[in-house]
Structure 1
C-alpha cells in the first residue's frame, strides 16, 4: 500500500483525526494549561508574570471587545461583580478551602500522568494498523436512541379481567401458563381501546350535535323574531291599503298565532270578519283560531251561524256547522244538512254526509233517488242506488245513468256485472255484445278522445272484475278490448299476457291466451303458454287443463310436443295411466315414425313395471323405425340388458352381440353404440373383446372423447397396464388437441397412481393450454395442499371460467371438506341455481340437507327434484348411477340417495 505524503507532515493546528467521519476531539489542561483565572493566586501572577494567563486574556478579549475600549462605568461594574463573587465565596461554608488552594501545576501533572502510558503505546502502531483503524461512528448517540426507542415500546397497561378472559378464550393462554400469545392480548386490548374511543367519539359527536342544534335554534329564534317584526309592518300596510281583502287579515292572525299572541290574532280575525263578511274562508279561520283557545264549541257555533248569514251557499260553512254538532245528536246534524240542501240542493258533499247518517235501507234509497235527480253527474250516487235495488229497478237506473253519463265507461261494466250476478248461466256472447255496444257509445259520445280508457286501463278493470268474482265480465272485457285494439298484433298480446303472469294475474292472462287461440288456433306457442300459466295458477283446475289439451290436440293433430305433454300430464298430474297410454297409442298411429312417441310409450310401461309390454313396444319400434336414429337401438339394447339381468327374458352373448352388431351396421359412427357393446362384453367378463370394440371405436370415431377415456380405463383397471393407458391418452390428445377432458383424464390417472408430482406437472401444462377450463381448474384446486392457499385461487377460477357451475360446486365441496358446512350449502345452492341440470349439485345439496337440514327442507328438495328429474343429465357421478342397470327402476328419491352416498365416498 502506497503511503500518502501528508502522513509524514505535521498536522495543522486544531486537527482532530476522523472528524470528518463523526469523531470528536478534546483538549485537557495538560495540553493547554488552566483556563480559569483563580482569584487567590500569588502576587507574582497578579503582576503579570503568568504567561498563560496573559495569553488567554489577549485571545479572549482582543479586537473591538478588548480592554482598550473599557470606560469608567465598565470598571465600576467589574468592581461590583468582583465584590459580589467575593462575598458569595465567603458565604459558601460547605466548600473545602483545601480544594480551592489546589495549584494548577499539580492538576496538570496528574492529568498528564493518566495519558502517559497510552501515548507511549502509540509508538508500536505500524502504518497498516493505523490505516485499518475502523471509522468512528456516533456510537453514543446511536445507543441512546436505541435505548429510548426500547423504552417507548415497552409499554405497560392495566389489563381488565374481561380482556384477559377474552384472550384466554381465543387460545392465548394455556392451562399451565407456559405459552402466552401476546398478539392476541394486544388485539383484545386494541379492540377495547377502539370501543372506548368510539364511545368517546360518539359522546363528543352527540355533544357537538346538541350544541349545533342549540345554536341553530337560537339563530332561528332570532330570525323568527326579525321576520315577525317585518311581517307585522308589511301586513299593517296591506290592511290599511286593502282592507277588503281577506288574505291580509288571515295572514295577520296567523302571524300573531305563530308569535303565540292569541289575543291579537283573535282581534285581527274578528276585525277581518267585519271588513270582509262575504268570504267564507275568513269565517272558517275565525272558527279555527277560537277552537284553539278557551272559548269552546258554543262560541264557534255562534261564529258559524253569523258567517252563514253572509255566506248562505257556502258548502264549507255548512259542513263546518255539521262538524261542530255533537256526533251523538243525529237529529241536529241531519237538520243542519237538510237546511244546507235547501240553499244548495245540488251539493254532492252535503248529500253524501246526509246519506251516511241514515241506517235504514229504505231511507237511503229515498235520499239517493232524490240525489241522482239533483246531481245526475255523480256516479257514486248511481252506483250505490243500483247496488241497493233489485234487478229490474237496477236495469232502469242503468239506462237513466247511461243517458246522464254518456262518457262514463263504468256504466257498461256495471251492466255486465249485473247481468252476471243475476244469471249464472248467461252466455258469453250476450256479455260480449253488451260491452261491445258500450265501446261504440263511448267512442261516439266522448268529445276528447284522450279521455277514453286505454287498453291497459281496460285490462286493469278486467283484473278488478275477476277479483270481485265476475269472471265472465272479466273475460268479456278482455275480448272486447282486444277486438277494439284495431290491429291483430300477436306479439303485443303475448307480451300483455306475460306481464299479467308476472303480476300473478293468471286468470286474466288465460283470457288473453284464449282470445289468441281463437284467432290463431295453430299457434303452438300460445297453447304452450296457456297450459304453463294454468299449471302455475293458484286456482289450478285439472279438468279445465285437460279440456284445453284435448282442444289443442284436436286442432293440431300432428304436433308431437302437445301430444307428449298431454300424455305426461295425464299420467303424472291426473294419475291416469290408462288415459296416458291411450293418448300415446293414438299419437303413435297418427305419427308412426316419431321416435319420441315410441320412447315415451316404452318409458310409461317401464315406470309402471309393465316390462313385457315395454319389451314388445321396444321391439316394434326397431322393426318399424330401424333407421330413425341410433337412440332407438341404444334404448332397446339397454332395456334388453335390464330385462336379462332381472331374468324376465333369457338372452345370451350371441343375442346381445347380434343386436349390437345390427345397430353398428346401421350407425357405424355412433360412439354410444361402441360404448354400449363394450359394456355388454364386460357384463359377460369378455374384457379382451371389450377392449377390441373400444379400439375399433377409436378408429371409427376418433373424435369421441368418451371412447378414448374408456379404453384407457380398461387398460388401467382390467389389464393393469398403466403405461399403455398413458399411451392411449397421449394418442387421444394428439388426435383431439382441444379437448380438456383428455387432460383431466391424464391428471386423474396419475393421481390414482399416487404420483402427485406428475399430476402437478400435467396440471400446470394443461392449465396454460386451457386457462378457462373448469375441469382443469378443479384439478388445480384439488392439488393445492391448504385451504387458506386456495381462497385466492377460488377468485381466479370464478373470474376466468365466468362463474362456471362446476367451479361453484367444487368451492362448496372444498368448504364441506374443511368442515364449514353452512358455507358449503350456500355454494351448492348457487351451483344448482346456475344449472338445474347438474346432477352433482342436486347430490351435494341433498348431502347437506340429509345431514343438517329439516324434514321440510328435505321434502321441498325432493319435490323440486321430481319436477326437474327428466332434464338432469349433467355430472359424471349422476350419469353413472342413473344409467346403471341396477338402478333402472329406482325412483328419483332412491337415485339421489345413491348419488349423494357416492359423492361422499369419493370426497373422503
Structure 2
C-alpha cells in the first residue's frame, strides 16, 4: 500500500524558492552585506527548467538558440540588426552629415556646459572660499619681507610657562564664602577695650604697647615708599610730619600722578625682554663688529627703562664699529644734547664722509650761526653733496648770499635739479633763462627744468603760443633723450602748476602730453575718465585743459561738450559757459540739447532777449524740432507774451505735429482759463492721437473745471478704455467716483486697475487711502499687508503703514521700513516727520537733508524740509533751501506735481508755489 504524504510533508521540488512566483526574490536585513537571494534565484530557475525536460529527450541547438534570442535586449544590435544592410552613397553622405551635426552640437553644448560649470564653480568658491584663498593677499605680502626682517622675528619661546602660570593663578582664585565665616572672622582680631583692675591689658602679666606697634608699622611703610620713589627717579610725594605722634602723611594726588607717569612693563613684555636679552648679548659677544646687534641691545635696554645701561651698550658699539654711521646716530639719540655734541664730534672724526652724521650734528646746535659753521665744515669735506648744499642754502636769510651759495653749488653739483631750480627762482627773468639753459644742458632728462622754463615764460607775460611752443620743444627733447614719463605723471605736474598759479603751463603740459601711449579707439573714454578724476581731486583747470584737448580730436562728441558745459556750470563762470555753448552750437548745430541748454542758461541769467535770439537761430537750423518749439513757447509764456506763444503753438502744430505739441497747446489755454478753446483743441488732439493719456486727463479736468461732472466721469472712463496701462487715468477716475459719493464704484475701479497693472505701488496706495478716507482703518491695514507682499521695497507703502500705526508704536515699523528700503526718498521723509513730531529737531533735519540729496527731483522732500526750516530754523537757512530748490527744479512726488501743474499757479515763481505747498501739508 502506497503511503501518501500530506502536502506540507512532501519534499520541495528541485530549485524551489519560496515566494518566487509572486516576485519575492529575497530581502536585505540590517546585518546582511547584500541581497539575500539575488545570486540564488538565477541558478534556481535554471535547475527548475532542467528538471522539467523529459528523460531521454535531446535538445535541438536551433531551438535553444531561438529561445535565447527571444530574451535578448532589443536595444542591443545583435540578431536582426547585427546584419549590415546595403548602403548607397546617399546614405553614407547622410550619415556623414548627421555625424558632423552631432559633433557640432556636442561642441556647442560643451562650450555652454563648460561656461555654466565654470560660473557655478566661481559662485561656489565666492560663497565658500578656502582658507588658503582668504590669506592669499597676506601670503603675497610675504614676498616683500627681506632676509633682515626674517632674522629679526622673535622666537616663539616656551609657552608652557604661561600655561603653568595660568594653572597657578587658577589655584589662587578667591571665591565667595558664607556669611557665617565673615561674621566669625569679623571679631577674630578685635581688641578688647576693657582694662583689668590691675591696669594690664592681659591676664598673663605681660604688657602690650599698641601705640608703639602702630608707629613702627607706619614708619616701615614710609621707608618702603621712599625707597620705591627714589628707585623710580621720581620726585618725592611723601611728606613726613614732625608731629608729636610721628605719623607719616601721604599726598594721594601726587602719588597717583607719579604712578601714572611711570612706565610699568606688562608681564608679556617683561618675558619677551628677558628672553631676547641673552640672544642679543650672545650676538654682540660672538660678532662685536655687527652694528645691528649693538643697536638692538641698546634699544632693548631702553625699552626696559634702563637708560644708563642702554647708553653704555651703544658706546661699546661705537668703540667696536667706529665706521658705521647708524651706531653713532643711535648714540646721539640716546644721550642728552650736551653729550650728543661730543659724540657727534667723535663721529665726524671717524666717518667724515657721512652726510647723515653731519646733518644730525647740525640739528644739535641751537643758533643759526653754529649750524652754519657745522655745515661749512661738512661742505669742506663733502663739497659734492647736494643734501648739505640744500641745508646750507635753507639757513641763509639774505637772497644775495643764497644766490652766491647756489652759484657755487651748481658748479660743484651740476646734476642736482633742486639747486638749479632754486637758483633760477632767485635770479631775474633774464638771468633765470640763462640758468635754465645751463640746467637743460646738464640735466637732459629733467622735465622739471622744461616746466620751469614754461612757467617763466608765463610769469614774464609771454603769449599762450610761446608757452605752448616751449613745452612742446621740451617734450620732444625729453623723448629723444629717453626721459619721457607717462601720462599720469604729466597730469600730476599739470595739477601742480594749476595749484601754484600757472594755468597756461598747465594747459601746455596737457596739450603736449595727453595723447601719449593711448590706442586710437580708447582715446575718448580715457580722456573722459581723466577729466572726471581731475574734477574729483578739485583740479578744475586741468580738467578744462583735458576736455579742450579731447574736443579738438572729437569736435562732434555730444558727451564731451556736455561734460565741458557741466564743468563750467558747476565750477566756472557763466560767461565761460556761454562761450562754450556758443562753440557747441556752431560745431553741432543739429544737436537740440545744446540750443536748449544755451537758451535756458541765458533765461536763468535774466537775458530773455538773448534766449529768444538763440531759439530763433535754432528754429532756422532745426525747423521740425519739437523740443525747440516747446522751449520757445515756455519762454514766451514766462514772459507773458501769450499771443506770441499761441502763434508759435499754432505754427508748431502745422510744422511739428506731435503729441507733446497738442498737450502743450491745451495746457496753455487751460492756464489762461480759455476752457472752450482748450476743449476744442483737446477734442481735435484726441482725434489725431486717441492713445495719448495726457489728452484724456486734460479733457476730463476741463469738464471738471466747467462743473460738468457727468461728462468728466465719462471722459475718464473712456480714457481708461483707450489707455488701460495709464495708472494716472485710473486714479483720476477712482477719485472722481469717490468724490461723487460712490465709494463702491471707486473700489471696483481700483480693483480693475490692479488687474491691468499688477504690483503697482500707486494703485495700492490709492486703495489704502480710499479706505482711510472712508474711515475703514482695519481694512486699510489689511490692504497695507497685502500691498507689502507685492511691493516689499516700496517707500510709499511703508510710509503709509507707519502713519497707520499709533504714535508710540511707530519706532519698530520705522526700523523695518528703513531696513527694507533705506534709499527711498519717501521713507526718509517719513522718518524726518516722525522725529519732528517727537521734538528731535536735529535728527529730523538730518533725515530731511538725506531725502533731498537722495532724490532732488522729488518735490515732496523740499516741501517738508522748507516747512521744517521755516518753523524751526533761521530765515536765512530757509532762503538757502529755496535757492537750492530752484536749482534742482523738481517735477515729481505725490504733493508737489498737483501744485506745480495747477492752472491757478500759472505764472508764479517756484518759490511762491513751494511756500503754498508747504502751508497746505499737515504734520
Q: TM class by shorter-chain length?
A: 0.5 to 0.7
Q: Which residue is 1:427 aligned to?
A: 464
2: distance between equivalents of 1:309 and 1:373? 27
Unaligned runs of 5+ in 1: 1-206, 646-650
Once the two structures are superposed, the pairs formed by residues 562-641 of structure 1 within 5 Å of their partners are 562-572=594-604, 574-625=605-656, 627-629=657-659, 631-641=660-670
Which residue is equivalent to 1:885? 903
Give me the TM-score of the superposition, normalised by structure 2: 0.64
Does the aligned pair in 1 maintain the 2:495–2:542 contact within 8 Å? yes
Q: Is structure 2 residue 888 aligned with structure 1 residue 868? A: yes
Tell me, what secondary structure is at the counterpart of 1:413? helix
Q: CA offsets per residue over residues 223-245 of structure 1, 9 Å max, x none?
A: 86897788778756766xx7xx8
Q: Is the 8 A contact 1:622 1:632 kept in 2?
A: yes
1:895 has 2:913 as partner: yes
Shift of 1:498: 0.7
Distance 2:298 2:720 in 1: 102
Residues 856-898 of structure 1 deviation map (CA, whole Å, 9 limit, x = unaligned):
32122111110111xx232332222111111011111111111
Match of 1:442 in 2: 478
Aligned residue in 2 for 1:455 = 487
Give, in whole Å, the separation in 2 of the partners of 1:821 and 1:289: 57
Aligned position for 2:863? 843
RMSD of aligned Cα (Å) = 4.2
Which residue of structure 1 lines up, in the alignment, with residue 542 of structure 2? Answer: 508
Structure 2 match to 1:684: 706
Query: Structure 2 vs 1, CA of residues 405 and 634 (structure 1 numbering), >3 Å: closer, same or farther?
Result: same
**1:778 and 1:256 mapped to 2: Cα distance?**
67
Q: 2:367: which partner in 1?
A: 327
- The corresponding residue for 1:832 is 852
In the TM superposition, 1:240-259 aligns within 5 A as none
Q: Which residue of 1 aligns with 2:409?
A: 371
Residue aligning to 1:745: 766
> 2:692, 2:485 → 1: CA distance?
62
Pair 1:325–1:776, CA change in 2 (3 A): closer
| CA shift digits 1:438-490 (9 cap, x unpaired) | 223323334xx7xx533211111101111111111111111112132343421
Contact 2:498 2:539 in 1 (8 A): no
Please show how residues 203-222 of structure 1 align to structure 2 within 5 Å. 216=265
How far apart in 2 are the matches of 1:779 and 1:674?
A: 29
Tell me if the contact between 1:256 and 1:265 (Cα under 8 Å) persists in the aligned partners.
no
Counterparts in 2 of 1:524-539, with a 5 A limit? 524-537=558-571
Match of 1:553 in 2: 585
Aligned mates of 1:253, 1:720 — CA distance in 2: 95
Say if 1:328 and 1:558 are closer, same or farther in 2 by CA, change over 3 A: closer
What's the offset of the Cα at 1:388? 1.9
**In the TM superposition, what is the alpha-carbon distance from 1:222 to its structure 2 partner?**
9.1
The answer as to whether partners of 1:794 and 1:811 remain within 8 angstroms in 2 is: yes
**Cα shift at 1:791:** 3.7
The SS at the match of 2:724 is coil
1:528 Cα offset (Å): 0.7
The alpha carbon displacement at 1:809 in A equals: 3.2
**Residues 698-722 of structure 1: CA deviation (Å, up to 9, x unaligned):** 33233333333333433443x4444
- In 1, are the aligned partners of 2:458 and 2:502 still within 8 Å (CA)? yes
Kindly indicate whether the alpha-carbon contact (under 8 Å) linking 2:675 and 2:702 is maintained by their aligned counterparts in 1: no
- Equivalent in the alignment of 1:499: 533
Write the distance in 1 (CA, Å) between the matches of 2:768 and 2:334. 91
Deviation of the 1:437 alpha carbon: 2.8
1:775-799, Cα deviation, whole Å (9 max, x unpaired): 5555544444x23444444444455
Q: Deviations over 1:478-527 (max 9, x none)?
A: 11121323434211111111111111111101110001000000001011
Shift of 1:902: 2.0
Deviation at 1:696, TM superposition (A): 2.8
Helix, strand or coil at the partner of 2:921: helix
Deviations 1:390-449 (A, max 9, x none): 23322222222112112221111111111111134x133x33333233223323334xx7
Pair 715,320 (structure 1): closer, same or farther in 2 beyond 3 Å: closer
- How many angstroms apart in 1 are the aligned matches of 2:362 and 2:786? 92
Write the distance in 2 (CA, Å) between the matches of 1:692 and 1:249: 101
Superposed CA deviations along residues 666-698 of structure 1, whole A, max 9, x for unmatched, are 111222212212222222222223233233323
- Matched residue of 2:512: which SS? helix
- Of 658-667 and 790-799, deviating more is 790-799
Deviations 1:517-561 (A, max 9, x none): 000000010111111112222xx2222221111111100000000
| Residues 598 and 617 in structure 1, CA contact (< 8 A), matched pair in contact too | yes
Q: What corresponds to 1:87 in structure 2?
A: none
What CA distance in whole angstroms lies between the structure 2 residues aligned with 1:357 and 1:215? 43
Aligned to 2:423: 385
Shift of 1:280: 7.3
Does the residue aligned with 1:609 lie in a helix, a strand or coil? coil
Hey, what's the Cα distance between the residues in 2 that align with 1:277 and 1:349?
23
1:593/1:383 CA distance change after superposition, 3 Å: same
- In the alignment, the residues of structure 1 paired with residue 691 and residue 367 of structure 2 have an alpha-carbon distance, to the nearest angstrom, of 94
Q: 1:353 to 1:611 in 2, by over 3 A?
A: same
Is the 8 Å Cα contact of residues 228 and 259 (structure 1) preserved in structure 2?
Answer: no
Match for residue 685 of structure 2?
Answer: 663
Q: Which residue of 1 aligns with 2:84?
A: none
1:297-325 deviation digits (Å, cap 9, x = unpaired): 6xx39x83x77677665656766776677
In structure 2, relative to structure 1, the CA distance for the partners of 1:520 and 1:328 (3 Å cut) is: closer
Distance 2:353 2:798 in 1: 86
TM-score of the superposed pair, with normalisation by structure 1: 0.65
Match of 1:754 in 2: 775
What are structure 2's unaligned runs of at least 5 residues?
1-255
User: Residues 72-119 of structure 1, C-alpha deviation per residue, up to 9 Å, x if partnerless?
Assistant: xxxxxxxxxxxxxxxxxxxxxxxxxxxxxxxxxxxxxxxxxxxxxxxx
Deviates more, 1:585-594 or 1:697-706: 697-706
SS of 2:895 mapped into structure 1: helix
Relative to structure 1, is the Cα distance of residues 380 and 636 closer, same or farther in structure 2, using a 3 angstrom cutoff? same
How far apart are 1:214 and its partner, in Å?
A: 8.8
Task: Indicate how the Cα distance of structure 1 residues 360 and 692 shifts in structure 2: closer, same or farther if over 3 A, else same.
Answer: closer
Cα separation, partners in 2 of 1:318 and 1:811, compared to 1, 3 Å: closer
Which structure has the higher relative contact order (CA within 8 Å, separation 6+)? 1
Instruction: Give the structure 2 partner of residue 520 of structure 1.
Output: 554
CA separation of 1:545 and 1:777: change in aligned 2, threshold 3 A: closer
1:577 positional shift: 1.3
Q: Deviations over 1:605-647 (max 9, x none)?
A: 222333333233233322332x312x2112112211222x3xx
Greater Rg over alpha carbons, structure? 1
Q: Secondary structure at 1:875's aligned position in 2?
A: coil
Which structure 2 residues correspond to residues 346-425 of structure 1 after superposition, within 5 A?
346-424=384-462
Residue 723 (structure 1) shift: 4.4
Q: Is the 8 A contact 2:487 2:516 kept in 1?
A: no
**CA–CA distance in structure 1, aligned partners of residues 362 and 764 of structure 2:** 91
Q: How many residues matched?
A: 665
Q: How far did residue 855 of structure 1 move?
A: 2.1
